[in-house]
Structure 1
Amino acid sequence: MEKIRPKRLGHLVLTVRDIHASVKFYTEILGLEVSDWISDQMVFLRAGTDHHDLALSQIPKDSADIDDLPRYTRPGMEHFSYLVEDRAEMDRAAEFLQHMGIEIVRGIGKHGPGENLFLVFKDPDGNNVEIYCEMTQITPDSGYQPKVWERNIESFDQYRFKHFVVPPPQAVVDAKSNKK
C-alpha cells in the first residue's frame, strides 16, 4: 500500500486557558481574523483564505469532571493537520492507516465550521495528526460573515458518524443522546 500524500501543512489547534484573551492576542497582535466560533469554547482564525489556519479550544473550567475528546487539562497542541487532495485520498489513507496498525482517533467526518472533511490519527508519541480536505475558502470579496455554531453534533460532524472508520468519541455520543 502507498503512503499518504500530503500537499502542505494545514492548520493547528491549541488548547488555551482563556479563549477571549487568546483571541485578543491573535487578532490584535498577530492580525488574524475570526472565521467562526463554536459556542464560547472554540474559535477559528485565519491569516489567509483557508477558513482557519489556527483554532483555539478553551480548556474546561473544571477539567477533572469533563471526559472531553481528547482530554486536555493544560495549554498546548490538540492537533496539527495536513491538506490532502480529496475525499478519495482520505478514504485511501484510512485504509492505509488501518493496514499499518496506526490508531485512528476520529473520522472520516465533516466539521461544521470550515466544512472540511477530517481524519485524525496518532503518531508514535501520541500526538494527534489530522489530514483534511475541502475546507471553506474565504476571500475578500466572498462576503463571508463569522457565525457562532452551537456545540453539538452538527459542529463536530455534519455526517453524524456515518463515515467514521472507528467508533465515535464517547463524549460526543453521550452529548448526541442527551439531545433527543
Structure 2
Amino acid sequence: MTPIRPRKLGHLVLMVRDIQKSVKFYTEVMGMQVSDWISDQMVFLRAGADHHDLALSQLPAPAPGSNTEADFNDLPRYSRPGLEHFSYLVDNMAEMERAVKVLQSHQVEIVRGIGKHGPGENLFLVFKDPDGNNVELYCEMTQIPEGSAHRAQVWERNIDSFDQYRFARFVVPPPQAVVDAKSGKKS
C-alpha cells in the first residue's frame, strides 16, 4: 500500500501551565496573532495565513492533594507542559480516508477522527507513532491572509468546538470525556 504522503509539517499543540502567560509570550515576544479561543482553556495562534501554527492548551489543575497523572481529567491526560501533538498537512478528505486504510494496514493506533474542528475548521485524524506521540493529519484549514478582517472568537468547550461532524465520521470510538460532555454527564 502506498504510504501517506504529507505535504508539509503543520501546527503544534502544546500543554502549558499558565495559558495567559504563554499567550503574552507568543504574542508580545514572538509576534504571533490570536485566531480563536476555546473557553479560557485553549488558544489558537498564527504566524502566517494558516488559522493556527501553534495552539496552547491549559494543563488542568490537580485535585487537592493529588500529584499523579491519573488524577487529571482532561483529554488526553497530561500532567506536564510539552507537546500534545504535531501535525502534517494532506491534500483533502479523500487522502485522509486513504490514510486510515494505510494506518490500519500497519496496525497503527488511531486515537481520534476523522472529524472537523470548530476553530480553524480543519479536518483531523490523530494517531500514535511508535513512541506514543500523537501525530495528526489535517486538511482544509481556514486561511486568514494578512490584512484580513478576521476577529478572534471564543468557542464554548463543547462538541461543536471539538468535532462539528459530531463523531459521524470517526473511525474509532470517540473519547469518553467528550461523549460525557456531549451528554451532559460529569466524569
Q: Which amino acid aligns with 2:4?
A: I
Which residue does the alignment assign to 2:142?
136
Which residue does the alignment assign to 1:167?
173
Deviations 1:32-76 (A, max 9, x none): 000000000000000000000000000001265433221011100
Which residue does the alignment assign to 2:73?
67
> Which stretch has the larger CA shift, 46-55 or 170-179?
170-179
Which residue does the alignment assign to 1:106?
112
Which residue does the alignment assign to 2:67?
none
Which residue does the alignment assign to 2:130?
124
Which residue does the alignment assign to 2:14?
14
Q: Which amino acid aligns with 2:16?
A: V
Q: Which runs of 4+ in 1 moved over 4 A?
A: none
CA displacement at 1:143 relative to structure 2: 1.2
Secondary structure at the aligned position of 1:73 is classed as: coil
Deviations 1:110-161 (A, max 9, x none): 0000000000000000000000000000012431110000000000000000
Which residue does the alignment assign to 2:93?
87
CA displacement at 1:169 relative to structure 2: 0.3
Identity value in percent = 75
- TM-score computed with the length of structure 2 as normaliser: 0.93
* Aligned match for 1:155, one of 146, 151, 161: 161
Quick one: distance in 1 between partners of 2:80 and 2:101?
33
- TM-score computed with the length of structure 1 as normaliser: 0.97
Quick one: distance in 1 between partners of 2:171 and 2:73?
22
Q: Superposition pairs for residues 8-47 of structure 1, below 5 Å? A: 8-47=8-47
Quick one: distance in 1 between partners of 2:179 and 2:148?
35
Q: Which amino acid aligns with 1:160?
A: R
Mark the runs of 5 or more structure 1 residues left unpaired by the alignment. Answer: none
Q: Which amino acid aligns with 1:69?
A: L
RMSD (Å), alpha carbons: 1.1
Quick one: distance in 2 between partners of 1:140 and 1:69?
33
Secondary structure at the aligned position of 2:2 is classed as: coil
Q: How many residues align?
A: 179
Q: Which amino acid aligns with 1:15?
A: M
Mark the runs of 5 or more structure 2 residues left unpaired by the alignment. Answer: 64-69
